[in-house]
Amino acid sequence: MSTQTELQDTINDMVDDHRGILAADESTPTIQKRFDAIGVESTEENRRFYRALLLDTPELGKYISGVIMFEETLGQQDDTGRPLPEVAWAQKIVPGVKVDKGKGPLSGAPGDLITYGLDGLAERLGDYKAQGARFVKWREVYPITPTNPTLLGLRANAEMLARYAATCQEMGVVPIVEPEVLMDGDHDIDRCAEVNEQVLHSVFHALRLHHVSLEHMILKPSMTLPGKDCRRAPADEVARATLTVLKRTVPAAVPSINFLSGGQGPEEATENLNAINRLRGNAPWQLSTSYGRALQQPAQAAWAGQQENRAAAQQALLKRARLNSLARNGEYDPSMEA
């Protein structure tokens, strides 16, 4: 099978008009924070049990088309001995994996960050494919301050995303390109829109220079939101600002835009997605989700580390996935939360 066929088959399996992507790729320090919040020790066995619980949720494949796993999860099994990528694919949920290796300061650009992990990426991709992964994800992070992101920060982060995406496609693996503009700060929605536009413009310029096939990638951007220390914007304002930025920067060739939740609560993230799809008009892309905490938080609270709460946790996950599926078509209403 050619790499082009592999890429197109994965896009066909992941992109449709009603499903989204579950981000379950929290690093070990991040999942420990999530578990600390519910009083659960972050052991390898607890992480395995919890993530197997998510992937084995009955009917999850009706609403979720792909799952981003942490590297550890890719090699784990459920209670019956099935590899977790097989558990996901049994419901036609495409397995994927996070491949970046975390972030640190960008030299020469105070306040900006850069992500590590390009060294040896092609070799790791071969191993991940052998374990069942068909797509991967790489995240670059952009803080907003009066002086950030700098021009160097914009160019350096875009270059990393483009080099990563080009390497993935050469290996027949679909790249999720994630430029996350952080909510930290007191900036207003107009400042966020300005930065989002700069970020996406630089990213697609770099993708073009590296000959990345836009038809065979998925974009995972931030919504255009005010900083968390600023007033919360109503959903219709978020939707208008987000769509304006996307229409100015994202080529129509990109098949799907799967938003990250980026600190939004579960209901807020669903409400904003719903408003975006109600106002989408003739937007050329699918507008969907790649939520982590906004999908998982209710399930984690219901589970609380107790095996007997497995079914309740799965129902909580399924509910959020179903409500986000409705929001994909502008059919969600807050009354459905009851």
pLDDT in tens, 129-141: 999 999 999 999 9
Give residue-wise pLDDT tens across range 146-185. Answer: 999 999 999 999 999 999 999 999 999 999 999 999 999 9
Q: What is the mean pLDDT of residues 270-287?
A: 97
Nearest to 16 by CA among 194, 303, 268, 218: 218
Mean residue pLDDT of the chain comes to 97
Q: Which of 86, 220, 319, 337 is catalytic?
A: 220
Cα four-point dihedral sign 70, 72, 75, 80: negative
Q: Is the pLDDT of residue 7 over 90?
A: yes
Question: Is residue 321 a contact partner of residue 22, using CB atoms and an 8 Å limit?
Answer: yes
Q: Which two tokens stand for residue 152?
A: 């160097």
Give residue-wise pLDDT tens across range 287-313. Answer: 999 999 999 999 999 999 999 999 999
Q: Which of 6, 140, 159, 178 is catalytic?
A: 178
CA triple 215-141-166, angle to 5 deg:
30
Q: Is the pLDDT of residue 123 over 80?
A: yes
Nearest to 45 by CA among 15, 79, 91, 9: 79
Is 178 marked active-site? yes
Q: What is the mean pLDDT of residues 273-287?
A: 97
Angle between helices 189-209 and 235-249 (to 10 degrees): 30
Is 194 marked active-site? no
Q: Is the pLDDT of residue 338 over 90?
A: no
Taking CA atoms, 216 is separated from 93, 179, 211, 328, in Å, by 18, 17, 12, 21
Give residue-wise pLDDT tens across range 13-29. Answer: 999 999 999 999 999 99
Q: Where are the strands (E) in 46-163, listed by range?
A: 64-69, 94-98, 103-105, 113-115, 135-142
Per-residue pLDDT, 1: 77
Nearest to 276 by CA among 227, 228, 241, 251: 241
Which residue type is seen at 287?
A: L
Class of domain 3-331: alpha beta
Per-residue pLDDT, 105: 98
Global pTM exceeds 0.85: yes
